[in-house]
Structure 1
Amino acid sequence: MTGTNGLAQKVAEDFVRAWTSKDVDKALSLLAEDVVCEAPTGTFEGVEGYRGFLEPFVTSLISATVIDVLANDTHAATVYTTDTPFLKDFRGIDHITVENGKITHVTSVFDLLPMHQAKGKIQP
Protein backbone atom coordinates (compact mmCIF):
# COMPACT_ATOMS: atom_id res chain seq x y z
CA MET A 1 0.00 0.00 0.00
CA THR A 2 1.29 3.42 -0.87
CA GLY A 3 0.91 6.27 1.59
CA THR A 4 -1.10 9.16 0.12
CA ASN A 5 -3.38 11.89 1.31
CA GLY A 6 -6.25 10.80 -0.95
CA LEU A 7 -9.92 10.27 -0.23
CA ALA A 8 -9.51 6.82 1.31
CA GLN A 9 -6.92 8.23 3.72
CA LYS A 10 -9.26 11.01 4.88
CA VAL A 11 -12.36 8.83 5.19
CA ALA A 12 -10.48 6.07 7.04
CA GLU A 13 -8.78 8.53 9.37
CA ASP A 14 -12.07 10.28 10.13
CA PHE A 15 -13.68 6.88 10.76
CA VAL A 16 -11.04 5.51 13.14
CA ARG A 17 -10.73 8.80 15.02
CA ALA A 18 -14.52 8.96 15.41
CA TRP A 19 -14.97 5.53 16.93
CA THR A 20 -11.80 5.69 19.04
CA SER A 21 -13.20 8.90 20.56
CA LYS A 22 -16.52 7.08 21.19
CA ASP A 23 -18.49 8.96 18.51
CA VAL A 24 -20.30 5.95 17.05
CA ASP A 25 -22.82 8.03 15.09
CA LYS A 26 -20.07 9.98 13.32
CA ALA A 27 -18.23 6.74 12.51
CA LEU A 28 -21.41 5.17 11.13
CA SER A 29 -22.13 8.26 9.00
CA LEU A 30 -19.01 7.40 6.99
CA LEU A 31 -20.35 3.97 6.00
CA ALA A 32 -22.25 3.07 2.85
CA GLU A 33 -25.74 1.71 3.61
CA ASP A 34 -24.70 -1.72 2.28
CA VAL A 35 -21.34 -1.86 4.08
CA VAL A 36 -19.97 -5.31 4.88
CA CYS A 37 -17.65 -5.93 7.83
CA GLU A 38 -15.74 -9.18 8.17
CA ALA A 39 -14.32 -9.71 11.66
CA PRO A 40 -13.09 -12.63 13.75
CA THR A 41 -16.47 -12.56 15.51
CA GLY A 42 -18.55 -12.77 12.32
CA THR A 43 -19.78 -10.89 9.27
CA PHE A 44 -21.91 -7.78 9.78
CA GLU A 45 -23.94 -6.24 6.99
CA GLY A 46 -25.45 -2.79 6.64
CA VAL A 47 -25.02 0.21 8.89
CA GLU A 48 -27.22 -1.22 11.66
CA GLY A 49 -25.40 -4.56 11.50
CA TYR A 50 -22.11 -2.72 11.85
CA ARG A 51 -23.54 -0.72 14.76
CA GLY A 52 -24.20 -4.01 16.54
CA PHE A 53 -20.54 -4.93 16.12
CA LEU A 54 -19.00 -1.54 16.92
CA GLU A 55 -21.14 0.01 19.62
CA PRO A 56 -20.68 -2.59 22.40
CA PHE A 57 -16.90 -2.41 21.98
CA VAL A 58 -16.76 1.38 21.78
CA THR A 59 -18.87 1.81 24.91
CA SER A 60 -16.34 -0.31 26.83
CA LEU A 61 -13.33 1.81 25.78
CA ILE A 62 -11.26 3.46 28.47
CA SER A 63 -8.81 4.84 25.92
CA ALA A 64 -7.67 4.33 22.36
CA THR A 65 -4.70 5.41 20.28
CA VAL A 66 -4.55 5.58 16.51
CA ILE A 67 -1.07 4.36 15.57
CA ASP A 68 -1.25 4.97 11.82
CA VAL A 69 -3.47 5.22 8.76
CA LEU A 70 -1.96 4.04 5.49
CA ALA A 71 -3.81 4.46 2.21
CA ASN A 72 -3.97 4.65 -1.54
CA ASP A 73 -6.87 6.08 -3.55
CA THR A 74 -9.46 3.42 -2.65
CA HIS A 75 -8.10 1.38 0.26
CA ALA A 76 -6.77 2.19 3.71
CA ALA A 77 -5.44 0.35 6.72
CA THR A 78 -5.97 1.76 10.19
CA VAL A 79 -3.76 0.53 13.02
CA TYR A 80 -4.82 1.17 16.60
CA THR A 81 -4.55 0.05 20.20
CA THR A 82 -7.29 0.18 22.83
CA ASP A 83 -7.75 -0.24 26.57
CA THR A 84 -10.96 -1.63 28.06
CA PRO A 85 -11.78 -2.67 31.63
CA PHE A 86 -10.95 -6.27 30.78
CA LEU A 87 -8.08 -5.86 28.31
CA LYS A 88 -5.15 -3.46 28.05
CA ASP A 89 -3.14 -2.65 24.93
CA PHE A 90 -5.50 -4.56 22.64
CA ARG A 91 -4.31 -4.02 19.07
CA GLY A 92 -6.19 -4.17 15.84
CA ILE A 93 -6.06 -3.34 12.17
CA ASP A 94 -8.93 -2.52 9.84
CA HIS A 95 -8.54 -2.80 6.07
CA ILE A 96 -11.06 -0.38 4.59
CA THR A 97 -12.44 0.00 1.07
CA VAL A 98 -13.80 3.42 0.10
CA GLU A 99 -16.08 4.02 -2.88
CA ASN A 100 -17.80 7.32 -3.68
CA GLY A 101 -16.64 8.80 -0.38
CA LYS A 102 -18.15 6.05 1.80
CA ILE A 103 -16.74 2.93 3.42
CA THR A 104 -18.13 -0.12 1.63
CA HIS A 105 -16.07 -2.89 3.19
CA VAL A 106 -14.11 -3.38 6.40
CA THR A 107 -11.92 -6.35 7.23
CA SER A 108 -11.25 -6.06 10.94
CA VAL A 109 -8.24 -8.02 12.15
CA PHE A 110 -7.61 -8.72 15.82
CA ASP A 111 -6.60 -11.68 17.96
CA LEU A 112 -9.46 -13.12 20.02
CA LEU A 113 -7.14 -15.08 22.34
CA PRO A 114 -6.38 -12.15 24.68
CA MET A 115 -10.12 -11.45 24.97
CA HIS A 116 -10.88 -15.04 25.89
CA GLN A 117 -8.00 -15.11 28.37
CA ALA A 118 -9.16 -11.86 29.97
CA LYS A 119 -12.66 -13.28 30.36
CA GLY A 120 -11.25 -16.46 31.92
CA LYS A 121 -12.33 -18.77 29.10
CA ILE A 122 -8.79 -19.88 28.23
CA GLN A 123 -5.82 -20.15 30.57
CA PRO A 124 -2.51 -18.68 29.33
Structure 2
Amino acid sequence: MTTTGSAVEVAETYVRAWLGGNVDKAMGLIADDIVCQAPSGLVQGADAYRRFLAPFAGMVISGELLGVYGDDNNAAIVYTVDVPFAKDFHGAEYLTVEDGRITRAISVFDRAASMQAGGQA
Protein backbone atom coordinates (compact mmCIF):
# COMPACT_ATOMS: atom_id res chain seq x y z
CA MET A 1 0.00 0.00 0.00
CA THR A 2 1.32 3.42 -0.90
CA THR A 3 -0.31 6.74 -0.04
CA THR A 4 0.27 9.87 -2.09
CA GLY A 5 2.24 13.07 -1.62
CA SER A 6 5.60 14.50 -2.54
CA ALA A 7 7.38 13.02 0.51
CA VAL A 8 5.96 9.61 -0.40
CA GLU A 9 7.35 9.91 -3.92
CA VAL A 10 10.79 10.96 -2.67
CA ALA A 11 10.84 8.19 -0.05
CA GLU A 12 9.86 5.50 -2.53
CA THR A 13 12.48 6.61 -5.05
CA TYR A 14 15.11 6.76 -2.28
CA VAL A 15 14.47 3.29 -0.87
CA ARG A 16 14.12 1.61 -4.25
CA ALA A 17 17.45 3.15 -5.26
CA TRP A 18 19.47 1.82 -2.35
CA LEU A 19 17.61 -1.51 -2.30
CA GLY A 20 18.79 -1.84 -5.90
CA GLY A 21 22.37 -0.94 -5.00
CA ASN A 22 22.27 2.58 -6.45
CA VAL A 23 23.63 4.59 -3.52
CA ASP A 24 24.43 7.60 -5.72
CA LYS A 25 20.79 7.90 -6.80
CA ALA A 26 19.63 7.53 -3.20
CA MET A 27 22.12 10.16 -2.04
CA GLY A 28 20.80 12.54 -4.68
CA LEU A 29 17.67 12.76 -2.52
CA ILE A 30 19.55 13.50 0.71
CA ALA A 31 19.92 17.07 1.95
CA ASP A 32 23.45 18.27 2.71
CA ASP A 33 22.47 18.91 6.33
CA ILE A 34 20.51 15.69 6.95
CA VAL A 35 20.17 14.53 10.54
CA CYS A 36 19.58 10.81 11.04
CA GLN A 37 18.77 9.07 14.28
CA ALA A 38 19.88 5.45 13.91
CA PRO A 39 20.36 2.54 16.31
CA SER A 40 24.12 3.10 15.98
CA GLY A 41 23.82 6.78 16.95
CA LEU A 42 23.33 10.22 15.46
CA VAL A 43 24.44 10.73 11.85
CA GLN A 44 24.81 14.35 10.69
CA GLY A 45 25.49 15.62 7.20
CA ALA A 46 25.40 14.00 3.77
CA ASP A 47 28.98 12.68 3.90
CA ALA A 48 28.36 10.90 7.20
CA TYR A 49 25.04 9.62 5.90
CA ARG A 50 26.75 8.10 2.84
CA ARG A 51 29.19 6.33 5.19
CA PHE A 52 26.16 5.03 7.10
CA LEU A 53 24.11 3.93 4.07
CA ALA A 54 26.67 2.66 1.53
CA PRO A 55 28.08 -0.31 3.47
CA PHE A 56 24.62 -1.62 4.30
CA ALA A 57 23.25 -1.08 0.78
CA GLY A 58 26.33 -2.84 -0.58
CA MET A 59 25.48 -5.95 1.44
CA VAL A 60 21.89 -6.26 0.21
CA ILE A 61 21.45 -9.54 -1.64
CA SER A 62 17.77 -8.90 -2.25
CA GLY A 63 15.20 -6.54 -0.83
CA GLU A 64 11.54 -5.75 -0.91
CA LEU A 65 9.77 -2.50 -0.21
CA LEU A 66 6.76 -3.48 1.92
CA GLY A 67 5.12 -0.07 2.04
CA VAL A 68 5.41 3.68 1.88
CA TYR A 69 2.97 5.78 3.85
CA GLY A 70 2.78 9.53 4.23
CA ASP A 71 1.94 12.88 2.77
CA ASP A 72 3.72 15.91 1.29
CA ASN A 73 6.09 16.42 4.23
CA ASN A 74 6.71 13.06 5.90
CA ALA A 75 6.84 9.44 4.87
CA ALA A 76 7.34 6.12 6.60
CA ILE A 77 8.93 3.25 4.71
CA VAL A 78 9.01 -0.39 5.70
CA TYR A 79 11.30 -2.88 3.99
CA THR A 80 12.85 -6.31 4.32
CA VAL A 81 16.25 -7.37 3.01
CA ASP A 82 18.43 -10.41 2.79
CA VAL A 83 22.00 -9.60 3.75
CA PRO A 84 24.93 -11.94 4.46
CA PHE A 85 24.25 -11.87 8.20
CA ALA A 86 20.44 -12.18 8.18
CA LYS A 87 17.52 -13.30 6.06
CA ASP A 88 14.33 -11.24 6.22
CA PHE A 89 16.07 -8.40 8.06
CA HIS A 90 13.30 -5.83 8.61
CA GLY A 91 13.69 -2.10 8.84
CA ALA A 92 11.64 1.07 8.87
CA GLU A 93 12.43 4.73 8.41
CA TYR A 94 10.49 7.88 9.12
CA LEU A 95 11.58 10.61 6.73
CA THR A 96 11.02 14.35 6.62
CA VAL A 97 11.24 15.90 3.15
CA GLU A 98 11.76 19.57 2.35
CA ASP A 99 12.16 20.93 -1.19
CA GLY A 100 12.42 17.41 -2.62
CA ARG A 101 15.23 16.25 -0.30
CA ILE A 102 15.30 14.17 2.85
CA THR A 103 16.30 16.41 5.75
CA ARG A 104 15.61 14.09 8.66
CA ALA A 105 15.53 10.33 9.04
CA ILE A 106 14.69 8.09 11.93
CA SER A 107 15.99 4.64 11.11
CA VAL A 108 14.63 1.67 13.06
CA PHE A 109 15.91 -1.89 12.89
CA ASP A 110 17.01 -4.65 15.21
CA ARG A 111 20.80 -4.52 15.51
CA ALA A 112 21.03 -7.93 17.19
CA ALA A 113 21.55 -9.89 13.94
CA SER A 114 24.18 -7.43 12.74
CA MET A 115 26.02 -7.39 16.05
CA GLN A 116 26.02 -11.20 16.25
CA ALA A 117 27.59 -11.33 12.81
CA GLY A 118 30.14 -8.63 13.65
CA GLY A 119 28.49 -6.01 11.41
CA GLN A 120 28.43 -2.31 12.12
CA ALA A 121 24.83 -1.44 11.13
TM above 0.5: yes
1:122 is matched with which residue? none
1:95-110 equivalences in 2 (<5 Å): 95-110=94-109
1:73 is matched with which residue? 72
Tell me the CA shift for residue 117 of structure 1: 3.1
Partner of 2:60: helix, strand, or coil? coil
**Residue type at the aligned position of 1:64:** G
1:12-31 equivalences in 2 (<5 Å): 12-31=11-30
Tell me the CA shift for residue 24 of structure 1: 0.2
1:57-72 equivalences in 2 (<5 Å): 57-72=56-71
Q: Which runs of 5+ in 2 are unaligned?
A: none
**Residue type at the aligned position of 1:42:** G
For 2:44 and 2:27, the matched residues in 1 are separated by 12
1:1-124 equivalences in 2 (<5 Å): 4-119=3-118
Deviations 1:70-90 (CA, angstroms, capped at 9, x unpaired): 011200000000111111110
Partner of 2:37: helix, strand, or coil? strand
- Higher Rg of the two aligned structures: 1
**Across the two proteins, how many residue pairs are aligned to each other?**
117
For 1:116 and 1:32, the matched residues in 2 are separated by 29
TM-score (norm 1): 0.90
Tell me the CA shift for residue 48 of structure 1: 0.7
For 2:30 and 2:84, the matched residues in 1 are separated by 28
Partner of 2:91: helix, strand, or coil? strand
**Residue type at the aligned position of 1:24:** V
- Identity between Structure 1 and Structure 2 (%): 49
**Residue type at the aligned position of 1:113:** A
For 1:40 and 1:17, the matched residues in 2 are separated by 22
For 1:43 and 1:60, the matched residues in 2 are separated by 21
| Native 8 Å contact 1:4 1:73 kept in 2 | no
